[in-house]
Structure 1
Amino acid sequence: MNQSWAMVALSAVVLVAYLFDFLGRWIKVPAVVLLIFAGLCLRAVTDAFGLSLTPPDDLLPVLGTFGLILIVLEGALDLRLTREAAPLILRSSLCAVLGVVLTGAALTAALVFWLDAPLQAALVHALPLAVISSAVAIPAAAALAPRLREFVVYESSISDIVGVVLFYAMLNEFTGFGSMLVSLTGEITLSVFIGLVVGLLIFWLIQRIQHHVRVLPMIFGITLLYGLGKIMHLAPLVMVLLVGLLLNNYQLVRRFTGGRWQGEGDFESDLESFKHLTAEFTFVVRSFFFVLLGFGTGLAELLDLQAWLLAGIVLACSIAPRWALLRGVARESAEPLLWFAPRGLITVLLFLSIPAHLVIPAFPKAGLMLVILVWALLLSMGSLRIKPAAQDEVAPVESPPSSH
């Protein structure tokens, strides 16, 4: 492909994704589904004409990782930390952690029984399928009432973080739950400290750097932070989440420092520019990722019965624990939150990170795409059940008097 056709293709992907974004909101179908189908159709056309277009092997993981960083950052930049929001944050975090653990345990047992897989291999295949994808859930949550939207942002972001931390912990040689817990606690504690320091540094820089190019270096600085955290075997998504939360809750920093960090510029305006550019980057990266994901899958692969069986098992092991957690822990009505637990970008990224010696040969890889598509369609169904006029009337399940 020459340079002119490459420019046409890249520009067309962004413009079509932009149209899909509008179309998806109108027909209540996540743009992710439309992007994946666009990739599948593009693959079918190239195969029909005998064209060989093979993206670099490392392109999808790099795009996905960059997209994940931006999506978690974008979600955190929309959240306000207040005393009133503390119960919601606690409930959504508990749902995220227990959801990953319970669903992961059920899927692990299913893979051991069904495919006769070793325990460690079953675990590292089950965990990616148990993680809620913030890349899909957060954009779709725009249709929800503000309180439920915050629940989805917190739950999906924490689910991503917990899933990634547990996944990489399971890749190491198992020496006991005690030693693993100590190691994870140390990693998360250090990640929290580094995230707070970097967040304060960016807060200070936004107020003092007057150069006309300043937001973009900060975004890539956060990406650098993620990469270094990954190299150091920390929890880099925790750092990214804390940076975003700290920037969007700058009033807490000024209150803590007694106003000494008050800059000369208009921080609110600068923060809006930071949010806007983050959203633009997220849109572009996410669009290319899901088109390439669809392009990498042949339509014939989706007809495999084993792949459909895997999709059914994942749904069965996901929906039952989620319904129980929403009712018992979150104390929310199961509708519409039950369907806001899609799989997507993070699931693919973790699967691409499974080392060769832990790969289960009999695992139907096409089932991964089916799981993503089926969950996205369920999310569409949940979005269609939302009545715009009654969005703000959705109320939590009544709590017993003793909980107040």
Structure 2
Amino acid sequence: MDILTSYNLIIEASAIIILSFIFSELARKTNVPSVLMLIALGILLKFGLDALGIGSIDFFPILEVLGIVGLIMIVLEAALELELKPAKIIPIAKAMAIALIGLLASTWVAAQVLHAFVPGMNMQAAWLYATPLSILSSAIIIPSVSGLSNVKKEFHIYESTFSDILGIMLFYFLAGQWEATEQSNGVVGFFGNLGLTLAISVVGSYLILLIFQNIRSQVKLFLLIAVLLLLYALGKKMHLSSLIIILSFGLVIANMQLFFRGRLGRWL
């Protein structure tokens, strides 16, 4: 039974999107995060494929692409939640500090546990594996705080957003150090790439917005997504922190009145 034919892939992709929408609606009514429903669905599908004798199919190439696209969407959605206003500087700073301290502390604890109880695991690998376990994912937090007051809800949104972004950056930093060659500059090279990425991100975000505002086509949203995917992939090829590009673009879109002032404001 070949489940990777073109029509089967279309059916499977469509079914996943429909189920994701249904899970999102259920999450609003039950306060059960939709991501947990999707995880449960994946586990059930795994058992089903094994029962049908087709569990040995290598889904990794497909899942890797879907994971990259999902990662970009998560960071972009998180960035769009951040409003940079003077009145919110202190709440944002507090949320970012708590997210960073909580991420590093929980990662350290998880790394110590993994290093102590997993045979043959060194501390570098333990930190790498502990990082995803320590992220307070906005995909779980945001649907779960709908019943709180606006102030508490906003704080949790900021905290989970920063935890997402900082956690992903920490994971890729550790992964880069893990895969580093002898020619790598280590931490210095990382921060050099980070600075270059920030410069490219700011310039690229301005250019994308200025160009896309003059496009009147109804399909420019798909073109925009394609451009972001292209920038992310090119950034990874150049060993840059590609997530910063997505983050910067989301921040510029969410705060256009802040970034487009004076003469720049006339171009919008």
**TM-score w.r.t. length of structure 1:** 0.57
Q: 1:152: which partner in 2? A: 156
How far 1:83 sits from its partner (Å)?
0.2
How far 1:142 sits from its partner (Å)?
4.8
Q: Structure 2, unaligned stretches of length 5 or more?
A: none
The answer to whether the Cα contact below 8 Å between 1:79 and 1:150 also exists between their aligned partners in 2 is: no
Structural RMSD (CA): 2.8
What are the residue-to-residue correspondences of 1:232-251 with 2, within 5 Å? 232-251=238-257
* Among 25, 29, 38, the residue aligned to 1:26: 29
What are the residue-to-residue correspondences of 1:185-200 with 2, within 5 Å? 185-200=191-206
SS state of the match for residue 86, structure 2?
coil
SS state of the match for residue 85, structure 1?
helix
Count of aligned pairs: 259
The answer to whether the Cα contact below 8 Å between 1:72 and 1:134 also exists between their aligned partners in 2 is: no
How far 1:231 sits from its partner (Å)?
2.3
Q: 1:118: which partner in 2? A: 122
What are the residue-to-residue correspondences of 1:232-271 with 2, within 5 Å? 232-257=238-263, 259-262=265-268
The answer to whether the Cα contact below 8 Å between 1:68 and 1:135 also exists between their aligned partners in 2 is: no
Q: 2:60: which partner in 1? A: 57
How far 1:204 sits from its partner (Å)?
0.7
Q: 1:371: which partner in 2? A: none
CA distance in 1, matches of 2:263, 2:36: 46
Q: Structure 1, unaligned stretches of length 5 or more?
A: 263-404
The answer to whether the Cα contact below 8 Å between 1:199 and 1:246 also exists between their aligned partners in 2 is: yes
Residues 214/61 of structure 1: CA separation in 2 closer, same or farther (3 Å cut):
same
Residues 141/191 of structure 1: CA separation in 2 closer, same or farther (3 Å cut):
farther
CA distance in 2, matches of 1:13, 1:227: 24
Instruction: Please identify, of 45-54 and 14-23, the stretch whose mean Cα deviation from structure 2 is larger.
Output: 45-54
1:374-402 Cα distance to aligned partner (Å, 9 max, x none): xxxxxxxxxxxxxxxxxxxxxxxxxxxxx
CA distance in 2, matches of 1:48, 1:90: 50
Higher relative contact order (CA 8 A, sep 6+): 1
Find out whether 1:66 has 2:66 as its counterpart.
no
1:33-83 Cα distance to aligned partner (Å, 9 max, x none): 222222222333343344557353211122111111112112222332110
Give the AA of the match of 2:79: A
Instruction: Work out the percentage of aligned pairs sharing the same amino acid.
Output: 34
**TM-score w.r.t. length of structure 2:** 0.82
Q: 1:38: which partner in 2? A: 41
